[in-house]
Structure 1
Amino acid sequence: MTSPIPDPSGQSLTPTSDERTWAVLGHLAAIVAAIVSVGWLSFVGPLVIWAIYKDRSAFVRQAAAGSFNFNLAVWVAIIAGWIMFFTVILIPIALIVWFVAVVAALWYHVRAAMAAGRGESFLYPWGIPVLH
């Protein structure tokens, strides 16, 4: 799941300290935004970091894009949970979907941030590929 970022010539690039910091923030911004907005804006932090660094650093761009894409999948799961919740009979399933989505989001964002801190890229297990 983690590996150094290869450059176009096939050699691996070592990200600078500043790039590692912004990549860590790209992963953790989703958790902070989710807490502040009760989960509804978890994709905004990674999107802002991606927009700022998309042309400056491949390492930060990949980290923020992965975080954003993963958050979209989590967001869809949470909305599906709400739809199930409103059907009343599916409330127990909705609670399970929400629990799994929140735990997965926390687990994978923290793992990704730790990998970014070591200068390694992290591949999220699923996501809706919107940003690259």
Structure 2
Amino acid sequence: MTHPIPNPYGHELSAPSGEERTWAVLGHLAAIIAAVVSVGWLSFVGPLLIWALYKDRSAFVRRAAAGAFNFNLAIWAMIIVGWILFITVIGIPVAVLLWIVAGIAGLFFHIRAAVKANRGESYSYPWQIRVLS
């Protein structure tokens, strides 16, 4: 059963269509897919492409892809800090810990967000560096 989505402007929005839910799921999972295809280097490209395609067509898909992109920026920041610590040699244990946390958090939160999007629910990622909206 779908429920109307509350809107901050007072009126209710209709529940997202099946196509919108599918694209929102892809917006969340595109980061994982792009990371696997590019060996971790382009995880932000998938959500960015979906955001660019749907930013004017569906607010639900736009929010999903923007959240995934913004979350990936935070994950990238953790990875870069890890590399900086790794270069210092003394920071190697902290770097490895950051990489593990970034990898597990990336998988966990993207999958969790995709499941919610499949149900027609919005998801707000933790640790976002808000660039897209």
Structure 2 CA distance for aligned equivalents of residues 75 and 4 of structure 1: 35
Matched AA of 2:59? A
Name 1:120's counterpart in structure 2: 121
Matched AA of 2:32? I
Q: Give the length in aligned residue pairs.
A: 130
Structure 2 gap segments, 5+ residues each: none
Residue 75 to residue 59, structure 1, CA distance change in 2 (3 Å): same
Structure 1 CA distance for aligned equivalents of residues 5 and 84 of structure 2: 39
- After TM superposition, the runs of 4+ consecutive aligned structure 1 residues lying more than 4 A away are none
**Residue deviations 1:58-106 (CA, integer Å, cap 9, x gap):** 0000000000000000001001100100111110000000000000000
Question: Percent of pairs identical after alignment?
Answer: 66
Structure 2 CA distance for aligned equivalents of residues 109 and 99 of structure 1: 15
CA contact (8 A) 1:5 1:59 kept: no
Q: Which has the higher contact order (CA 8 A, sep 6+)?
A: 1
TM-score by length of 1: 0.94
Structure 2 CA distance for aligned equivalents of residues 40 and 79 of structure 1: 11
Name 1:52's counterpart in structure 2: 53
1:26 is aligned to 2:40: no
Structure 1 CA distance for aligned equivalents of residues 49 and 99 of structure 2: 25
Structure 1 CA distance for aligned equivalents of residues 115 and 4 of structure 2: 13
Question: What value does the CA root-mean-square deviation take over the aligned residues?
Answer: 1.4
| Aligned-residue offset at 1:125 | 1.1
TM-score by length of 2: 0.93
| Aligned-residue offset at 1:38 | 1.8
Structure 1 gap segments, 5+ residues each: none
